[in-house]
A and B are shown apart, each in its own frame.
Chain A
Amino acid sequence: MPESAFHQDNRRSTPLKRAPLISARNVAKRYGAVRALVDGNLEIHPGEVVALLGANGSGKSTLGKVITGMTRPDGGQLQFDGTTAPVTSPEHARRLGVSAVYQELSLVPDLTVAENVFLGNEPTRLGGLDRRLMQHRTAELLESFAGVFTVPVTPGTVVGNLPPSERQLVEVVKALSRQPRALILDEATASLDGRQVDRLFELMAGWRDQGLGLVFVSHRMDEIFRVADRAVVLRDGATVGQLQLRGGDDRRTAERKLVELMTGGGEAGALLLDEARPRAAVNRDAREPALRLRGFASGILAPLDLEVGAGELLGLGGLQGQGQSRLLLALFGAAPHRGSVELDGRRVRVASPRQAVRAGIAYVPGDRNRDGLLAVRPILENLQLPNWERYGTPLRVGAARKDAQMVASDLNVRLAGLDANVSTLSGGNAQKIVIGKWLLRRPRLLLLDDPTKGIDVEAKEEFYRLLARLQADGTTVLFTSSDDAELLGLCERVVVLHDGRVTAELTGPTLDKGSLVAASLGAR
């Protein structure tokens, strides 16, 4: 526990005489089996900008959601202006003076900017909407961003026609319209361009000087150092420390301290992987790489060149949403893309998942409930979903069952029977089913999007062993993970993405936590 950072901060911070605007103490929240927050603590005073930092799964977003009323906590205490107040809904939070800016969560595409800004809060005159006031106020609010809009934005513009960056700005304006005393911005800069970020920071400095309390949840080190006065770090669901940024250490030292706080310095996760270490020797001799991408771009992902050898397990690192998932999705034909894809030296077209499957590519999605499982169908149907055409007409169900049973046993899935509903399985076992459906096809390329998220330790171990076996068989694996230790322990090579670009390729001596976290944040 790097207590030095904490105490150092206490000695150097300006004594704040006013009571905190918001005080969150020992906040806990679990989603089913996953404990998103264990001991979240945060204090926000008027007239300051606090950055909330943490790696994936640290709980920073959850803490933000609790404060703004999006979720109810399971434990802990919330105080506003010194009075204890359990927040029941976002509307309640707004009435308490806390506004949140999320990523386009609350905009209706068919309505105009003014209508969206005042949605749920419309001023009325003589029983009808006071549109003039709405227009006027919205125009005033939009003025703050005058000059940085990439397309014309007026109170009458239909939100659905705006690009994501402008929609994000409308969300900011909407939060402002409530004249909040505290503003929480969760990854609000993700879709903004440089000039818009500049303007936003200017405004935030202004708001801070007017006495607002601001929380800035972000993963971008640069921005944090530009705009925040103080940084609070979360790790594994708990607040582990804070650091005074303005008037504190120099940039490099501060960054190092923050990274230390975020990573915890421990190697607990790696112990798990020692057993699973039997990695196949990666074949990177003169033969064709199993996978070659040239100029491969899709969505947030900038054109990328990549070569992966047969049997190699390549990790895609970085914080969530930097393009890793998009890469996998596009490679599977499920998202539009450009650039060339070669498997074993031959160019393949992956314009649709069906084509990808035929080319021997398999994909395990990040959200298994939404994209990977057929919730109310039996396990058998889930396992054989891509494979039914192999069993003829009428279906040789006996053969299908046998094969499915084989896969299930192979993966050590604990199930009551193949006909049991797949929703009866635990997270780990359900994930095995999602992977299992591809195993019968012996794919050449396996794309895994955060496959061990929300899975218990035992299942993870089994999964690592499976990966090792697949690698030994020559299957090439592309793998993203929200668990940095896992990534580092399993892969011999990790490509780190930040805002859609590769910021580092870590192997051998650079394959360590510090480098990974630093590269993930775009730090120097």
Chain B
Amino acid sequence: MDWGVMIAGLLTLAIYSFLYKDNPVYKAAESLLIGLSIGYALVIYWQTTLMDILFYPLIRDTKLILIIPLVLGLMMFSRFTRKFSWLSRIPIALMIGAGAGVAIPAMLYARTLKQVSASVQPMIENGNFNISALVVVIGMISTLAYFYFSREHDGVMGKVARLGTYFLMIFFGATFGYTVMSRLSTLIGRVDFLLIDFLHVIQ
């Protein structure tokens, strides 16, 4: 008997009991999941990051510059005191500043320039009219018009913004369809486990 599969199966059914109604069995399973998730993450973070790139280089290789991030990291714990809680802003400011600094060129290139340039496609290819390219340009411009709130959406602007709404609805509809597909796949995966591994209904 595979105890692991047995426990996994019983816990799966405990979670599914929520579909009937919220109950102590489900709550207990959920609490266990929360605790295990945090404990698991603690181990992984400690082993792969703090030991690997902080304590080993600092102690074994005497890379003394790492005292700076160690002190900054410990400053995060000042959040638990009332008097010195402002100290925790310093390491947060470093992370936020560094993130903002690297984000500017990335956003400009990858999200803005590259996307705009990709939208500019030839309308006529090999003598044929490429309606799809026209749809992309119209869709993009009208959706951007919808999100432009510095001007009243009336007249021509209003009509273009309304067209943008329809393109957005197509996007949301497609996303909903794919999301439904994804959720159903997750359910199918659990049914696979229950039927094959847990109940051995299918070999």
A and B, one complex? Answer: no
Taking beta carbons and an 8 Å cutoff, which residues of B are in contact with A?
none
Taking beta carbons and an 8 Å cutoff, which residues of A are in contact with B?
none
